[in-house]
């Protein structure tokens, strides 16, 4: 029996030559054919829609000379802009196997995901 070699360890992540523990799931390295870093773009649509409603509300409130409507519209506009700016791109550990590709772990921290991907690729190379 071969000795288990650890390539990466951090909070909730461990990569060895025989398995990868990514969060709550454990994957057998023997079943993984490829590992890459995926990018999941930030979904800014809800923030843009909210800001758009705020702009429409500003025009409606100004046309009706309604202060309450203008106040609510400004609030919607500010919330929409903040929401659109706070959403971040997610990076994922993308695993390939005989059953296809899947995103096993995601995080907004690109360097953390890159370290895991590099460790898993090293484990695949060294498993022989």
| Domain-located, residue 1 | no
Q: Are residues 38 and 50 in the same domain?
A: no
In angstroms, what CA-CA distances link 80 with 11, 13, 63, 64, 107? 34, 35, 22, 23, 23
| Domain-located, residue 24 | yes
Q: Are residues 38 and 93 in the same domain?
A: yes
Q: Are residues 112 and 97 in the same domain?
A: yes
Give the full edge-to-edge strand order of the sheet including 25-28.
6-10, 13-16, 19-22, 25-28
Q: Are residues 104 and 78 in the same domain?
A: no
pLDDT of residue 1: 52
Token pair for residue 78?
A: 């500010």
| Domain-located, residue 26 | yes
Q: Are residues 94 and 38 in the same domain?
A: yes
Domain hosting 75: range is 45-86
Binned average pLDDT, 10 residues per bin, the chain of 128 residues: 84 92 92 94 95 93 85 94 95 92 93 96 84
């Amino acid at each position: 029996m071969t000795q288990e070699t650890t390539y990466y360890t951090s909070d909730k992540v461990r990569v060895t030559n025989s398995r990868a523990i990514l969060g709550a799931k454990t994957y057998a390295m023997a079943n993984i054919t490829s590992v890459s870093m995926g990018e999941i773009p930030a979904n800014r649509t809800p923030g843009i829609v909210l800001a758009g409603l705020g702009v429409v509300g500003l025009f409606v409130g100004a046309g009706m000379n309604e202060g309450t409507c203008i106040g609510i519209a400004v609030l919607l506009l500010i919330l929409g802009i903040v929401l659109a700016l706070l959403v971040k791109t997610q990076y994922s550990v993308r695993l390939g196997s005989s059953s296809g590709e899947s995103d096993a772990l995601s995080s907004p921290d690109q360097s953390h995901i890159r370290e895991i991907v590099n460790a898993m690729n090293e484990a695949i190379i060294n498993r022989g």
